[in-house]
Amino acid sequence: MDAKREFKGPGPLEKAWLWMEAIFNGAAAAPHNPFNYLGAVCILFMWIILATGFYIFIFYSISAKEAYPSVEAITHGQWYAGGIMRSLHRYASDGLVIAMALHGLKCWVLDRYKHWRKVAWVSGVIIAWVVIAGGVFGYWMVWDERAKIIAELSSRLFEAVPIFGLPLSLNFARVENLTNQLFYIILFVHFSTSVVLFLLIMIHISRITKSIVTPPKVVIYALAIALLILSIIKPAVSGAPADLKALTQEVPFDWFYLFIFPLLKYLSAREVWAAIIALTAVVIVVPWLTWGRGARRNPSATVTVENCVGCELCQEDCPYQAIQMRKRTDGAPYELTAVVTANRCASCGICAGACDYNAINLPDMTEADVKENIRKASMSAKAGSVKGVSTVVFLCAKSVNLESDIEGNRIKGFDNAVAVTLPCIGMLQPSMLSIPFEEGIDGVFVSACSPGDCQYRTGDIWFGQRLTGLRPPIVKKSIDRARVKAVYLSSVEKAGFRQGLADFLSSLTKREG
């Protein structure tokens, strides 16, 4: 039994998502899979929107009479530049909505929104609505027939809010009511959303250590080329110019940004607001719901102050900024000591993996308990290896799911392989990795999360760097690296795990001759 913690396998939705990601990993290679960088992809689209928006603004006329002609001149008069810029602006905006939706869905499906991630979840919901608002006001600026409909329907919505005076729809009732001042307000709101978005993004990532805000270059180039090709093949164009004297017959519709407006056909403006507020409130409180997978929170890490030497490695490696260094007041020879902020702690054990002094521990899975389990697993593996080599398998709880394949701690089909499960492979301290070899085990097999998709962001990276000597504490140089094998798999890739373990045992057998 692995310490005192209970590890659960993935649910049906999580399995479905991970199978989909596994397909993309096979097609694009995990380090270049865009599904591993959805948050960073959102930021990439925002930069494209901002850059192309500034270019369009240079040639845009802030005028009730000149807005539409200026957009047409940009689109058709300089199609080779302005037209492509407008199309990039439009398709990057649509891409942003898609990436946001997938990012939120992934966090929900993979249970990455509760407890220490609450701030990111709530700020993410607000970011989504700011993006939608910015897109709606962006459509107004074109001032074609679609913009007129959006303006009229938006006015109906805002008139239901009691803070406004005269009905806003009067601005669109007569041509003479349509002033340049209105277009300045629209432009101001549209540009202001960009500033608000970047401030919200800072809050969104404020509790994340070494947050990834830029996708790999391969992903950037692929998305940029795709947007460019789409912009050339199907350029974004305006509808007919807005005519306040005539009824609108038919306009193109964008479900990415305008999905709220069809509700006005069936509900009053106040009912639509009530639906929006209710839906937003439900989504925001999701992390506080007390049922479902992951509702129970594991105890946060604790520091044994007298053992802490103030090396700062735990602070550097903590993925959620849950550890800070404070000045000591106990007269010890070390200047600093680690302090854990409990509500930020993911209880992943990465900090324990970074500590060589038994100064930081998980209460329900202490370093002493884990090391004792490893020794027992090593003896058990040796006992089952009468006819072959023996190995200890260090299994990340969020890597391949072997619930139905483990009896006691032995893996079915591999009598000489015994598993030790950790909450994150980043908890695998180098001194823990050394124990099986000290006990006479032939090899160590490690199963971590899929590359770039660690449940705790960086656990797989830190383990790999410790193994290769790039990050302290490092694995002993005396350990033959050929006797250590690491695979990076999601919880649904059991076949890959079994094949990898079989190949590793075969290689050890050949070495033993």
**In three state form, how does the secondary structure of 396-461 look?**
ECCCCCCHHHEECCEECCEEEEEEEEECCHHHCCHHHHHHHHHCCCCEEEEEECCCCCCCCCCHHH
pLDDT score at 330: 87
Q: What is the distance of C-alpha 335 from the center of its chain?
A: 36
Alpha carbons 59 and 394: distance in angstroms, whole number: 60
Query: 114 to each of 203, 266, 477, how far by Cα in Å?
Result: 16, 35, 40
pLDDT at 435 over 80: yes
Task: Give the other-Cβ count within 10 Å of 499's Cβ.
Answer: 12
Tokens at residue 223, please?
């998305």
Q: Which helix (H) or strand (E) holds 336?
A: strand 336-340
Sign of the torsion formed by the C-alpha atoms of 239, 245, 247 and 249: negative
* Spatial CA neighbour of 70 closest among 134, 139, 141, 150: 141
For 12, residues 6+ apart whose C-beta sits below 8 A from its C-beta are none
Closest Cα to residue 25, out of 496, 348, 484, 498? Answer: 496
Cβ atoms within 10 Å, residue 441: 24
DSSP bridge pairs for 488: 448
Task: List, for residues 460-510, the tens digit of each pLDDT value.
Answer: 999 999 999 999 999 999 999 999 999 999 999 999 999 999 999 999 998
Quick one: pLDDT band at residue 1, thresholds 50, 70, 90?
Answer: very low
Closest CA to 181 of 65, 61, 62: 62
How many other C-beta atoms are found inside a 10 Å radius of the C-beta of residue 246?
10
Contact (Cβ atoms closer than 8 angstroms) between residue 359 and residue 303: yes
Choose among 277, 275, 300, 292: nearest CA to 108: 292
The CATH code for residues 302-361 is 3.30.70.3270
CB 427 within 8 A of CB 348: yes
User: CB of 140 within 8 A of CB of 71?
Assistant: no
pLDDT reading at 257 higher than 90: yes
What pLDDT band is residue 248 in, cutting at 50, 70 and 90? low
Please indicate whether residue 408 or residue 84 has the higher confidence score (pLDDT).
84
User: Residue 155's pLDDT band (boundaries 50, 70, 90)?
Assistant: confident
- For the chain, residues classed under CATH 3.30.70.3270 are 302-361
Is the CB of residue 463 less than 8 Å from the CB of residue 486? Answer: yes
Read off φ and ψ for residue 276, nearest 5 degrees.
-65, -45
8-state DSSP, 365: B
**For 398-428, how does the pLDDT look when each residue is reduced to its tens digit (9 = 90+)?**
999 998 899 888 999 998 899 999 999 999 9
Burial of 492 from C-beta contacts in 10 A (0-12 / 13-18 / 19+): buried
Query: Does residue 164 have a pLDDT over 60?
Result: no
Helices vs. strands in the chain: H and E counts, helices first: 15, 10
Average pLDDT over residues 17-23: 93
H helices of 234-366, where? Answer: 269-285, 313-317, 350-354
| Domain range 367-512, its CATH number among 3.30.720, 3.30.420, 2.60.120, 3.40.50 | 3.40.50
User: Do the strands 406-407 and 323-327 form a parallel or antiparallel pair, or are they unpaired?
Assistant: unpaired
pLDDT the model gives residue 192? 94
* Structural contact between residues 102 and 45, judged by C-beta atoms closer than 8 angstroms: no
pLDDT in tens, 275-296: 999 999 999 999 988 665 556 7
d(CA 125, CA 127): 5
Which part of the chain is CATH 3.40.50?
367-512
Contacts 24+ apart (CB under 8 A), 232-236: 232/84, 232/87, 234/87, 235/75, 235/79, 235/83, 235/84, 235/86, 235/87, 236/75, 236/86, 236/87, 236/89, 236/90, 236/91
For residue 357, give both structure tokens.
Answer: 């002094």
Of 56, 57, 58, 99, the residue nearest 75 (C-alpha): 56
Return the SS3 of 162.
coil
In CATH terms, the superfamily for domain 30-288 is: Cytochrome Bc1 Complex; Chain C (1.20.810.10)
pLDDT in tens, 347-394: 999 999 999 999 999 999 999 999 999 999 999 998 876 567 999 999
The rounded distance, in Å, linking the Cα atoms of 185 and 63 is 11
**According to CATH, where is 1.20.810.10 located in the chain?**
30-288
Q: Which of 430, 426, 432 is nearest to 377 (CA)?
A: 432
